[in-house]
Copies of this chain bind each other. A is one copy, B any other.
Amino acid sequence: MTYCVGLRLNRGMVFMSDTRTNAGVDNFSTTRKMFTFHVEGERMITIMTAGNLATTQALISLLEERSKATSDRDPTILRVPSMFQVARLIGSTLREIISESTAEGATSDAGFRATVIVGGQIKGGPPRLFLIYPEGNFIEATDDTPFFQIGETKYGKPILVRRYDPEMSFSEAVKLLLVSFDSTVKANLSVGLPFDLQTYEIDTFRVHKQIRIEQDDPTYQSISTGWGDALRAAFDLLPSYEL
């Protein structure tokens, strides 16, 4: 599995992804699942992927190759005029890769499916955040649903639902994501450190911060330990159920 979250804030966006990839418990390694397409001062696009690694690597490679081709006829992720068109382009590329794998040749029980979160901003438009399905269609984050999760989403959802606030600072949002990721890592072997973190500040069209958070990161360590203690303390304050 995988765990990635994209969060829309009033001041921008925060993206976090884990780096564990596995084909069975005896075959796992570390791989980046967060990718950036960027034209300084004009557009800033962040993509996170979950699912079949062959599919997601092919997706990123195709997007990259096509963005370097000289032909003006094809739309590329660095040229399409809006974030909506970016999502359409990724969706159609993803569908193309999956249908190629599925059409002929060996099939895989695990399937060739992948899911993508893409967020960013292109000059002239607002920042937008999308969740793209393996079928190529997609949905957009709204004020009611201000974040998307892909991969192993369940363990880390309760704290996101309860503590998310669009007015959060970037530091608070990263803390929230670290708690959510920590709960997931503790419950599921298929999600693992290090985490990739990226923040985007509205109307800047460049990376705000980009950090790889390792297991021994002192703030992560104190959040991870502190959260267990804080949970226990919070629990003890609740009334008991008298029988």
Asked if A23 CB lies within 8 Å of chain B CBs, one says: no
Q: Indicate if the CB atoms of A158 and B171 lie closer than 8 Å.
A: no
Query: Which residue of the partner chain, among B154, B170, B174, B234, contacts A231 with CB atoms under 8 Å?
Result: B234
B residues in contact with A170, CB < 8 Å: 243
CB proximity to B under 8 Å, residues A163-205: 163, 169-172, 174-176, 178-179, 183, 186-187, 199
- The reply to whether A226 and B238 form a contact with Cβ atoms under 8 Å apart is yes
Quick check: B157 and A231 within 8 Å, CB to CB? no
Q: A158-B183, A186-B161 are in contact. Are A234 and B230 (CB under 8 A)?
A: yes
Docked-complex contact A187 and B158, CB < 8 angstroms: yes
Question: How many identical chains are in the complex?
Answer: 2
A239 touches B223 (CB 8 A): yes
Expressed in whole angstroms, the Cα–Cα distance for A207 and B99 within the complex equals: 57
The residue among A162, A208, A219, A232 with the most chain B CB atoms within 10 A of its own CB is A162
Nearest B residue to A208, CB-CB? B243
Contact (Cβ within 8 A) A162 B238: no
Residue A28, interface by CB 8 Å: no
Chain B residues within an 8 Å CB radius of A238:
175, 179, 222-223, 226-227, 230
> Which label, helix, strand, loop or mixed, suits the secondary structure of the A interface?
helix
Give complex CA distance A220, B231 in Å.
Answer: 18
B232 touches A174 (CB 8 A): no
Looking at the complex, which one of B161, B183, B233, B235 makes contact with A175 (CB distance below 8 Å)? B235
At the interface, yes or no: A228 with Cβ under 8 Å from chain B? yes
Q: Give the CA-CA distance A119 to B184 in the complex, in Å.
A: 29
A241-B179 contact given A163-B235, A186-B158, CB 8 Å threshold: no
Task: Given A158-B155, A161-B187, A187-B161, answer yes or no on A235-B240 (Cβ-Cβ < 8 Å).
Answer: no
Interfacial chain B residues near A219, Cβ < 8 Å:
239, 241-242
Quick check: is A79 within 8 A (CB to CB) of the other chain? Answer: no
Quote the shortest CB–CB distance from A234 to chain B (angstroms). 3
Closest 8 CB pairs of A and B: A230-B234, A154-B154, A174-B241, A171-B240, A234-B234, A158-B183, A209-B243, A226-B238
15 A-B pairs with CB atoms under 8 Å apart are A154-B187, A155-B158, A158-B183, A161-B187, A162-B232, A170-B243, A171-B243, A175-B235, A175-B239, A175-B240, A211-B243, A219-B239, A226-B237, A226-B238, A230-B237
